[in-house]
């Protein structure tokens, strides 16, 4: 009988002082829960459009659409998803004038009369979502607009809240929340950087 030492506790610390708060399995579970909540709130997915806010909101919207289609096989995941570029609607262009303008791609049926679910990785001040709402008003007239965020870190500057949240993550304003996704970064993780 050997007297092996207990395995060390896994560390959530990353190089550079970052802390992992969500790994791949936790992100997958959060997206599964959000997908179910979206279907429950809207009594199915027949009138849904998921608009991802680039960069990481778009792959999150695509993953959510795939999960919606798993639950309701009549849904076509690809036809549910679009992207919405908010660059020209931002209120901080004078402070950060050199931004790359992306593209807005809507599903074939557009957004008129649909329930639009905006999808973003981190909800912080609310200013990106305000810009997205302004962009939507130029694109059509949805029946309703809802918001899904993988992480809500607080510190809102506008009266905006998410309808669907993967993880509420209290942070200080000196900290930075980074979402890494396999599609853009090679792995799935949510990190907090800075002093805690």
**pLDDT for the residue 101:** 81
Position 103 confidence tier, pLDDT thresholds 50, 70, 90: confident
Residue at token pair 């429950």: 40
The pLDDT > 70 percentage for the chain reads 87
**pLDDT for the residue 94:** 67
Name the pTM for this structure: 0.89
At residue 97, does pLDDT exceed 80?
Answer: no
SS3 readout for 4-68: CCCCCCCCCECCCCCEEEEEHHHHHHHHHHHHHHHHHHCCCCCCEEEEECCCCHHHHHHHHHHHH
Average pLDDT, the chain: 90
192 vs 12, 14, 37, CA distance in Å? Answer: 10, 10, 26
CA distance 55 to 182: 12
Would you call the peptide bond into 55 cis, given omega within 30 degrees of 0 as the criterion? yes
Residue-range domain boundaries for the chain: 25-171
**pLDDT for the residue 98:** 61
Q: Which residue from 180, 157, 159, 155 is spatially nearest to 168, judged by alpha carbons?
A: 155
Specify whether the CB–CB gap between 152 and 126 falls below 8 A. no
CATH tag for 25-171 (out of 3.40.50.12280, 3.40.50.2020, 3.20.20.70, 3.20.20.140):
3.40.50.2020
């Amino acid at each position: 009988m050997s007297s092996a030492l207990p395995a060390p506790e896994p560390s959530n610390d990353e190089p550079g002082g970052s802390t992992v708060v969500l790994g791949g399995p936790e992100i997958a579970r959060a997206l599964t829960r959000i997908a179910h909540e979206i279907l429950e709130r809207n009594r199915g997915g027949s009138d849904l459009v998921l608009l991802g806010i680039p960069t990481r909101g778009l792959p999150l919207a695509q993953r959510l659409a795939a999960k919606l289609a798993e639950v309701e096989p009549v849904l076509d995941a690809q036809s549910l998803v679009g992207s919405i570029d908010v660059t020209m609607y931002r209120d901080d262009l004078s402070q950060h004038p050199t931004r790359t303008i992306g593209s807005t791609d809507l599903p074939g049926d557009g957004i008129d009369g649909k329930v639009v679910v905006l999808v973003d990785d981190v909800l912080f001040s609310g200013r990106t979502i305000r810009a997205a709402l302004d962009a939507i008003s130029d694109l059509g007239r949805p029946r309703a607009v809802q918001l899904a965020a993988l992480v809500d870190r607080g510190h809102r500057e506008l009266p905006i809240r998410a309808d669907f949240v993967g993880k509420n993550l209290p942070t200080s304003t000196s900290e930075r929340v980074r979402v890494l996704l396999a599609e853009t970064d090679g792995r799935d993780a949510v990190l907090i950087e800075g002093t805690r």
